[in-house]
Amino acid sequence: MSLTSQVAKRRTFAIISHPDAGKTTITEQLLLFSGAIREAGTVKAKGKQSKKFAKSDWMEIEKQRGISVTSSVMQVDYDGYQVNILDTPGHEDFSEDTYRTLMAVDAAVMVVDSGKGIEPQTKKLFEVCSMRGIPIFTFMNKLDRDGREPLELVAELEEVLGIDAYPMNWPMGMGKNLLGLYDLYNNRVELRGLDGEEDSYIPLDEDGEAQGDHAFKQSSIYSQAMEDAQLLLEAGNAFDRELINRGKLTPVFFGSALTGFGVQTFFDAFVDLAPAPAAVEAEEEVVVQPTDERFTGFIFKIQANMNPAHRDRIAFVRICSGKFEQGMNVTLNRTKRTIRMAHTTQFMADTREEVQEAVAGDIIGLYDTGNLQIGDTLYTGNAGLQFKPLPQFTPELFMKVTPKNVMKQKSFHKGIEQLVQEGAIQLYKTYHTEEYIIGAVGQLQFEVFQYRLLHEYNAEVDMTPIGNKIARWIDEKDLNPNMSSSRNLLAKDRFGQPVFLFENAFAENWFKDKYPDIELKKLL
Ligand code: G4P
């Protein structure tokens, strides 16, 4: 198969959702449909098991279950498409990696609990996707339960997230009264099979009525759904593929991941509408096309310490163009050194396999002994190439950190420097006294940081939480000595740029009122 046709069949995406909205369950359904697993519960069981451990056992968990990497990326065949699903860990595993993963996908699936609507973590992840302008497909989950009114849920997408919505199908009832889906996209009614019967599909006639005689047509639930859907068709947003592609319009699907209802309909439309790998911009106005023969890729995540005895790490490479072949030589742009891609891995539901061949859009894991960094560019051929740096994300949690043993200052500094470079944590110092403060978007990052400093650099640290802060950057020229107070700690980032750590939104607003002409900036 030619590179072009292989690339055209790639669909690389992440599922974004708030914990418990149903990400694991819907992923599992996709694995079931694709034949990657045979029974439900396979993925879930692992998830469950991991929840039993305390947070601080994370590294141990990693060793014991060995699944964290495996479940980070999965490639399955769905209806002739090579679907790459990238995990965006939530719960206590939430970290900057979760955000960075979104830099390596071409689309996102947003799973919303229809009983709850948009929740905070969904909103945060959505904003990162929206900033990238990638298409976002919404699945309103848990339709088998009584949830909120569908119209309200759709309106919330527009009000809370600011994205226009286009309902692809419309629920006919919900909870115990869920009859099925009135499906505008496929011009049919998808009838929920009762008492173990299969779901069935009934085509619509020109008037939008389900064809033939059926008992459900007497139900007010059916006529109401039809009425609502027709109304939306006339008064709502128009279906516009271009807007979907730019992430300005989200197609909305309803269903129930747990019972599998509406899930296949969703994924069928998803593989059809979601884009194949797109061109990627590099420095110096170079644009890399996925079908360029030359292999290029960038590293968006490094999973350290899978096996502390060997200190091996896995660098996740998003292939941006060309074809990867086992054992090929590539150049690491930062150092211009040649790396042999001999130990690579690709991920399936339950196993890791040596990857022989992969193309643009695919993700491969490269075993690394400490030479690679997040944001690194790899390529074949002679011409240098550097993809744009990955963005930094505004941390929300902060800790003061000091070495326990003053004799080990050197390893402490070396360890911090390397972990910061790797993107494991963000480093700040108090502006005048230069005390170390580390920042993260999730608690887990602190634990990994502490663990790795000890095990890799032999540096034990004391960490004092200073809690949740709102970090806002300010231009050095705007700074005056009176601005800092107990409620807005002045620090500098690792590039020496001044940043205020505000106690809360109240403190930030107070500052803005007092200094209305001063611009406060955030990272993403
Ligand atoms: P997550 O990965 O987004 O955190 O969510 P996950 O799939 O683990 O689902 C969270 C809970 O919601 C699970 O229940 C799951 O069974 C349930 N769930 C997911 N999809 C649906 C759905 O469509 N309908 C209903 N009614 N429930 C759904 P749990 O009680 O935590 O686990 P379990 O004991 O049911 O397995």
pLDDT in tens, 112-132: 999 999 999 999 999 999 999
- Do the annotations mark residue 18 as ligand-binding? yes
* Cα 20 to ligand 1 centre (Å): 6
323 located within any domain = yes
Is residue 71 a contact partner of residue 100, using CB atoms and an 8 Å limit? Answer: no
Query: Can you tell me which atom of ligand 1 is nearest the CA of 27?
Result: 7
Q: Is the CB of 199 within 6 Å of ligand 1?
A: no
- Classify residue 3: in a domain, yes or no: no
Residue whose CA is closest, atom 6 of ligand 1?
Answer: 22
Same domain, 41 and 154: yes
Residues contacting residue 169 through CB under 8 Å, at least 6 positions apart: 181, 182, 183, 184, 185, 186, 190, 253, 254, 262, 265
Residue 233 host element (H or E): helix 220-235
**Mean of pLDDT values over 490-496:** 93
pLDDT (average), residues 30-52? 58
* Residues 202/215, Cβ–Cβ less than 8 Å: no
Q: Quote the CA–CA distance of 122 and 29 in Å, as a whole number.
A: 21
Between the CA of 24 and the centroid of ligand 1 the distance, in Å, is 8
Is 87 annotated in a binding site? The answer is yes
State whether the beta carbon of 84 lies less than 6 angstroms from ligand 1: no
The neighbouring-strand residues paired with 111 are: 17, 139
Best mean pLDDT range from 14-23, 68-77, 133-142: 133-142
204 vs 492: CA distance, rounded Å = 63
Nearest C-alpha neighbor of 241 from the set 275, 266, 290: 275
Cβ of residue 258 lying under 6 Å from some atom of ligand 1:
yes
269 and 285 both lie in a single domain: no
Same domain, 440 and 373: no
For residue 453, give the H/E element and its range. helix 443-457
Q: How far is CA 235 from CA 182, 238, 248, 435, in A?
A: 17, 9, 18, 58
State how far the Cα of 15 lies from the Cα of 25, in Å rounded to an integer: 11
> Cα(267) to centroid of ligand 1, in Å?
19
Instruction: Give the mean model confidence (pLDDT) for residues 53-58.
Output: 36
Residue 149 CB: number of other CB atoms within 10 A?
12
Query: Within this chain, do residues 259 and 343 fall inside the same structural domain, yes or no?
Result: no
- Given a cut of 90, whether residue 193 has pLDDT beyond it is no
Shared domain for 317 and 257, answered yes or no, is no
The tally of domains found in the chain comes to 3
Q: Which of 97-111, 160-174, 278-292, 476-490 has the lowest mean pLDDT?
A: 476-490
**Is 142 marked as binding a ligand?**
yes
88 is in an annotated binding site: yes
- Strands 470-473 and 188-191 turn out to be unpaired
Tell me the CA–centroid distance for residue 258 and ligand 1, in Å: 7
Taking the C-alpha atoms of residue 379 and residue 341, their distance in angstroms, rounded to an integer, is 11
484 in Cβ contact with 421 (< 8 Å): no
Residue 141 counted as an annotated binding residue: yes
Mean pLDDT computed over 284-308 = 86
CB 90 within 8 A of CB 261: no
Question: Residue whose CA is closest, atom 35 of ligand 1?
Answer: 258
298-332 burial, b at 16+ Cβ within 10 Å, e below that, comes to bbbbbbbbbeeeeebbbbbbbbbbbbbeeeeebbb
- Dist. CA 432–CA 492, nearest whole Å: 9
Backbone angles phi, psi at 13, to 5 degrees: -145, 165
Is 116 marked within a binding site? no
Q: What integer pLDDT is reported at residue 366 of this predicted model?
A: 87
CATH code, 308: 3.40.50.300
- Let me know if residue 392 belongs to a domain: no
Q: Is 19 in the pocket of ligand 1 (CB under 6 A)?
A: yes
For residue 387, tell me if it sits in a domain: no
413 is in an annotated binding site: no
Same domain as 372, residue 409 = no
Same domain, residue pair 220 and 345: no
Q: Is the CB of 46 under 6 A from ligand 1?
A: no
Answer yes or no: is pLDDT of 64 > 50: no
**pLDDT tens column, 217-250:** 999 999 999 999 988 888 899 999 999 999 999 9
Q: In this prediction, what percent of the chain has a pLDDT beyond 90?
A: 64
Q: Do 207 and 227 belong together in one domain?
A: yes
d(CA 440, CA 447): 11
| Distance from Cα 83 to the centre of ligand 1, integer Å | 23
Q: In this model, does residue 306 exceed pLDDT 80?
A: no
Q: In terms of domains, do 262 and 131 share one?
A: yes
pTM for the full model? Answer: 0.88
pLDDT > 60? residue 45 = no
Of 343 and 391, more confident: 391
pLDDT of residue 51: 41
- What is the distance, to the nearest Å, from the Cα of residue 13 to the centroid of all Cα atoms in its chain? 8
pLDDT of residue 53: 35
Report pLDDT for 40.
Answer: 58
Both 260 and 286 in one domain: the answer is no
DSSP of 461-521, one letter per residue?
EEEEEEEE-EEEE--GGG--TTS-BTTEEEEEETTS-EEEEESSHHHHHHHHHHSTT---B
CA of 508 to the centre of ligand 1 (A): 38
The residues pairing with 280 across neighbouring beta strands, listed in sequence order, are: 288
**Mutate which of 23, 176, 258, 266 for ligand 1 pocket (most atoms within 8 A of beta carbon):** 258
Whether 247 and 285 share a structural domain: no
The residue contributing the CA closest to ligand 1 atom 29 is: 20
The finding on whether 51 has its CB within 6 A of some atom of ligand 1 is: no
**Residue 49 in this model has a pLDDT that exceeds 80:** no
Atom of ligand 1 nearest to the CA of 41: 36
Out of 46-50, 316-320, 367-371, least confident range: 46-50
- Looking up residue 493, the CATH number of its domain turns out to be 3.30.70.3280
Any binding-site annotation on 22?
Answer: yes
Task: From 158, 74, 72, select the one nearest 117 (Cα to Cα).
Answer: 158
Q: Containing domain of residue 421, as a range?
A: 397-521
Determine which of 42-56, 356-370, 430-444 has the lowest per-residue pLDDT on average: 42-56
Check the annotation: does 343 bind a ligand.
no
CA quadruple 21, 27, 32, 37: dihedral sign:
negative
Q: What are phi and psi of 512, to 5 degrees?
A: -65, -40
**Which of 15, 17, 20, 27 is the pocket-test mutation for ligand 1 (most atoms within 8 Å of CB)?**
20
Structure tokens at 271: 């593989």
- Cβ of residue 20 lying under 6 Å from some atom of ligand 1: yes
Interval 505-523: pLDDT, tens: 999 999 999 999 999 998 8
452 pLDDT tier (thresholds 50, 70, 90)? confident
pLDDT-based confidence at 69, cuts 50/70/90? Answer: very low
Inter-axis angle of helices 42-52 and 23-33, to 10 degrees? 150
Name residue 112's beta-bridge partners: 140
Q: What is the dihedral of CA 37, 39, 40, 42, to 10 degrees?
A: -60
Distance 43 CA to ligand 1 centre (A): 12
Residue 98, domain member (yes or no): yes
pLDDT of residue 286: 95
Of 379, 413, 447, the residue that ends a domain is: 379
164 and 308 within one domain: no
Gyration radius of the chain's alpha carbons: 25
The reply, when asked if residue 214 is annotated as ligand binding, is no
Tokens 């499906």, located at residue: 183
110 near 250, Cβ under 8 Å? yes
Predicted confidence band of residue 41 (pLDDT cuts 50, 70, 90) = low
Exposure string of 12-44, with b = 16+ CB inside 10 Å and e = fewer, is bbbbbbbbebbbbbbbbbbbbbbebbeeeeebe
Continuous H helices in 236-338: 241-245, 263-273
